[in-house]
Amino acid sequence: MLVKLYDFMIRKHPEILTICFVAISLLFLSRTENHVILSLQTKWQDVTTFVKKPILEQRRKQKVMEENKALRMEVFRLKQEIAGTKSLRNENDRLRDMLGYRDTSRYEIIPALIIYKGFKEGSNIIMLDKGRDHHVGKNDVIVYKDGLVGRILACGQHTCMASMIVEPDIRVSVRIDPARVYGILKWHHGNTFIIDDIPTSVEVKPGQTVTTSGFSEIYPADIPVGRITGVTSSENGFTYIIEGNYFVEFNKLREVFILRENGN
Amino acid sequence: MGTRTENFRLSYIVLSLLFVLSIILNNFIGIAGIHPDILLILLFYLAAREKPYIVLVAAFAFGFLQDIFLPGNIQYWGLSPLFKTLLAYALLKLRPFILRLKGFTHFAVVFGMMFLYFVFYDLLYYSGYISPVAVLYRYAFPETAYTFLLFTAFQCIFPLGKKDKGL
């Protein structure tokens, strides 16, 4: 009996191996955030950063020089505006002191360079050049100047891996302004999102902005997310399905900012 | 001139080095977002020369390596070992048939196998991102062409022997 079984296994070993490997692969597919894999990936990025970073820095320098030129013009324009707002700020500070307000900024902003943007286009994983050395931790929020980008998944010593919000599994609790209605945002396709189950009793129009609600344990309130482009009624007629575009152009990102809670 | 085994080893070493380079320089070797799959080329070489169990273990390991070192989307970890294993199995089953092919048909079959791999992989990878037809012409075909071009160039340097030609 055992000899027959042995013969069978020898004869059919390609099929047996294939079935085993397919089963293991399917197991991986069913577990989206495997901590062992995450840790392996971040450690690997730590190792390769020293090669990638100089090349990326060079590219960044070129871009920065171009931006610098445009920014100088912008600075001149803004200086004029600042002069006008300075007096308003002084007045505001004085009034805040009178009302007993304190500084409510809870986050430190850490600029980070994207050192890896996924194997293929449309990937939602990015690697950043900041890690535990810079006190970056899991679930720290990533933003860009335009709005919300995602969150940190895992951290190595010098790098970290982050997930962007353009992923089918990710939901973000959001608020639509100025209607001040709350909903759950999910990625639709490309650079678009949808928010469904918004009651038709609320007035929601294209052009309104979507920001984080602050109800989430991860994302703080008031981070811009996107703008509404279309509002359609659902089949039951009681709710709206809202479509919109993200503010951030995810496929053009080169650097981001990590929001680190500073414990104030 | 080295022996046949030495040539095999050299081609494996060169392909492995190319893979390591492609990992490190992934952001720079892409053409309009299209990247070659170096491990797929290595898999084709192995499938033509090695024993079935080596090919299958290598296919799974390559897929796993790709998911570790070149991660794409979180929800698709495991997709690469899955399709690489299935492709390796198909290559092993079709090996006697492919070994008989010569010239253009041989290259056409290799291209076809690569294309099938990329079609299935990309259809799942980009599901919900762009339409299936767009996946074909925007990703599957260009990725196949890029990888096949490298495969052909590599064949000029390290030709598969007479015994194992066809893959």
CATH code for the domain in which residue A188 is found: 2.40.10.350
Q: Is B159 helix (H, G, I), strand (E, B) or coil?
A: coil
A22 found inside a domain: no
Looking at the structure, do residues A126 and A158 belong to the same domain, yes or no? yes
Looking at the structure, do residues A152 and A182 belong to the same domain, yes or no? no
A97 found inside a domain: no
Looking at the structure, do residues A180 and A196 belong to the same domain, yes or no? yes
Number of C-beta neighbours around residue A47 at 10 A: 12
pTM of the model: 0.61
Range of the domain at B91: 4-164
A34 found inside a domain: no
Looking at the structure, do residues A146 and A176 belong to the same domain, yes or no? no
**Number of domains comprising chain B:** 1
Residues of A within an 8 Å Cβ radius of B: 13-15, 17-18, 21-22, 24-34, 37, 40-41, 44, 48, 51-52, 55-56, 116-125, 153, 161, 163, 167-169, 189-190
Choose between B64 and A43: higher pLDDT: B64
Number of C-beta neighbours around residue A168 at 10 A: 15
Looking at the structure, do residues A177 and A247 belong to the same domain, yes or no? yes
Distance CA B17, CA B39 (A): 11
| Crossing angle (nearest 10°) for helices B103-125 and B38-49 | 130
**pLDDT for position B64:** 86
**pLDDT for position B86:** 92
A216 found inside a domain: yes
A9-23, A40-54, B72-86 — which is least confidently predicted?
A40-54
Q: Cα torsion at A195, A199, A204, A209 (round to 10°)?
A: -40
Backbone angles phi, psi at B35, to 5 degrees: -120, 145
Mean pLDDT of the A239-257 span: 87
**Longest Cα separation, chain A:** 94
Residue A102 has pLDDT above 60, yes or no: no
Name residues whose C-beta falls within 8 Å of residue A163's C-beta, 6 or more positions apart in sequence.
A124, A125, A150, A151, A153, A170, B74
Looking at the structure, do residues A159 and A176 belong to the same domain, yes or no? no
Q: Which residue carries 């100089």 as its tokens?
A: A54
Range of the domain at A144: 110-165
Looking at the structure, do residues A206 and A237 belong to the same domain, yes or no? yes
A141-192 confidence digits (pLDDT tens)? 999 888 899 999 888 888 898 888 887 778 889 998 887 888 899 888 778 8
**Number of domains comprising chain A:** 2
Name residues of chain B where pLDDT drops below 70: 1-7, 26-27, 74, 128-129, 160-167
Looking at the structure, do residues A137 and A203 belong to the same domain, yes or no? no
**pLDDT for position B9:** 75
Q: Does B126 touch chain A (CB under 8 A)?
A: yes
Confidence of residue A26 (pLDDT cuts 50, 70, 90): confident
Q: How far is B84 from chain A (nearest CA, A)?
A: 10
Looking at the structure, do residues A204 and A223 belong to the same domain, yes or no? yes
A143 found inside a domain: yes
Considering only CB atoms, which chain B residues are within 8 Å of A17? 52-53, 56-57
A145 found inside a domain: yes
Say if the ipTM goes beyond 0.85: no
**pLDDT for position A104:** 53
